[in-house]
Amino acid sequence: MKELKMYQQPLHRDTGMLDVGSGPHLRIGDGLSTVHQRWLIALLPALLGSLYLFGFASLRVFGLTLLFALFFDLLAEKFAPSRDLSSNWSTVVLAIIFSFMLPVNAPWWLIGVGCFFMIIVGKKLFGGVGAYPAHPAALSIAILQLSWPARMDHTDALKGMDWQITLIEPLRLLKSIGSSAQEQYQLLDLFLGRQAAGSAEGLVFLILIGGLFLLFIREIQWQLPIGFLVGLMGSSFLFNLYDPNTFGSPLFYLLSGGTLFMGLFLITDHTTSPVNRTPMFIYGFIAGILLILIRGYSKHVDGIVFAVLLANLCSPLLDMMKPKVEGVENE
């Protein structure tokens, strides 16, 4: 019998056999870190825009968030190691998404508490990437908004800014003085991000560029944002007809606050959104309607995180709509 070793094969040192594995032997991509890095690229335009607009203030928010989030992630890793380190990349993405919704003057302890809830409670306690039932960043922002509403006030954060626009959150003014508030804002200003909002969520134009990038590379499916758009525009149109004093116009809702950020980055999160195509559309649709309802009838100003969390809860139910197995319908 011929010796295998004469061909210098990479034999396993204990068994003297070739390496085996289950097919397919070809696979695409470099794992989950690639997925998360694509999200980071998509978040980059808004991040850079925020740094340009607010300078050190937003750098401080982003830096502190990353620091705290990675600290809590590594701490959790110490006590409950996850299977791979790609979860750290997901923490980076979550941290950036979280910091986009923070006011630029958020105190350091607020960011720390937020990161604790996001990473330890929202993500790690539920089993990490792929297992958390609610979007951790949305969950954490919701907790902060309920616990320290005054600290989460974007109007207050930007009062020192020298902008030639109305420096009150559009949705806050809408809530307090009714739909006449819309006259205070130019839609173009809102679109270009010249509005009071979180550190980067209000940079509508730059958020749109990132979201279109994700859609273009098919990282996220079009059913989610389109369903969201249909739900949001449809319901706000009807509510605007029904009660024009309380509800703004569909375009005003679309361009103010974090609406687009929610539609492109929050509800499209792989883990918390449904996996099948039709449920994706319904999920986006529900999220859109919920957002208008919350903005119209609750005390919350923007309310994107509450709409996201409520939609998250529908996701497992929606996923029970299964795709058709090929050939089965012929029976």
Partner 1 sequence: MAPTLTFPKGGVHPPESKKLTENLAVEVMPLPAELEIILGQHIGAPCAATVAKRAEVSEGDLIGEVSKGLGVPLHAPASGKVKAVGNSGHPVRVSAPSVTITVDQEAPDKQYQPRDWQNDTSQELLKRVHDAGIIGIGGAGFPTHVKLKPPSDNPVDTLLLNGAECEPYITADHRAMLEMAPEIVEGAKILLKILGITNCVIGIENNKPDAIKMMTDAANGTAGDGFSITVQPLEVKYPQGSEKQLIQAITGRKVPAMALPSAVGVVVHNVSTTKAVYDAVVLEKPLVEKVVTISGKGINRPANLLVKVGTKLIDIVEFCGGVKPDLSRVVMGGPMMGFAVSDLNIPISKTTSSVLFLTDEEIDANPLSACIRCGWCLDACPMGLEPKEIGVFVEGNRAEDTEQFGVFECFECGSCAYVCPAKRPLVQFVRLAKMKAKRS
Instruction: Point out which residues bind partner 1 (CB under 8 A).
Output: 1-2, 4, 7-10, 15, 17-32, 34-35, 82-84, 86-87, 127-131, 221, 270-271, 273-276, 280, 322-328, 330-331
Q: Tell me how far, at minimum, the Cβ of 281 lies from partner 1, in Å.
A: 13
Find tokens 């709509």 and name the residue: 321
Find tokens 């039709």 and name the residue: 278
Q: Which is nearer to partner 1, 54 or 281 (CB)?
A: 281
Q: Tell me how far, at minimum, the Cβ of 133 lies from partner 1, in Å.
A: 11
Q: Which is nearer to partner 1, 24 or 164 (CB)?
A: 24
Q: At what angle do helices 136-147 and 86-100 cross, to 10 degrees?
A: 40
Q: Which is nearer to partner 1, 2 or 299 (CB)?
A: 2
Q: Tell me how far, at minimum, the Cβ of 147 lies from partner 1, in Å.
A: 30
C-alpha 4/C-alpha 16 separation (Å) is 9
Classified as helix, coil or strand, 41 is helix
Q: Which is nearer to partner 1, 89 or 252 (CB)?
A: 89
C-alpha 228/C-alpha 281 separation (Å) is 7
Burial 152-183 (b: 16+ CB within 10 A, else e): bbbbebbeeeeeeebbbbbbbbbbeeebebbe
Q: Tell me how far, at minimum, the Cβ of 115 lies from partner 1, in Å.
A: 21
Burial class of 319 by CB neighbour count within 10 A (0 to 12, 13 to 18, 19+): middle
CA distances from 147 to 45, 46, 140 (A): 31, 27, 11
- Sequence-distant (≥ 6) Cβ neighbours of residue 311 within 8 angstroms: 267, 283, 286, 287, 290
C-alpha 302/C-alpha 297 separation (Å) is 11
Q: Which is nearer to partner 1, 211 or 257 (CB)?
A: 211
Q: Which is nearer to partner 1, 27 or 78 (CB)?
A: 27
- Sequence-distant (≥ 6) Cβ neighbours of residue 327 within 8 angstroms: none
Angle at 313 between CA 121 and CA 79, to 5 degrees: 20
Q: Tell me how far, at minimum, the Cβ of 84 lies from partner 1, in Å.
A: 4
Going by C-alpha positions, the residue among 101, 48, 75 that lies closest to residue 259 is 101
- 185 is written with which tokens? 């804002």
Q: In the chain, what is the straight-line distance between the N-terminal and C-terminal CA atoms, in Å?
A: 55
Burial 53-72 (b: 16+ CB within 10 A, else e): bbeebbebbbebbbebbbeb
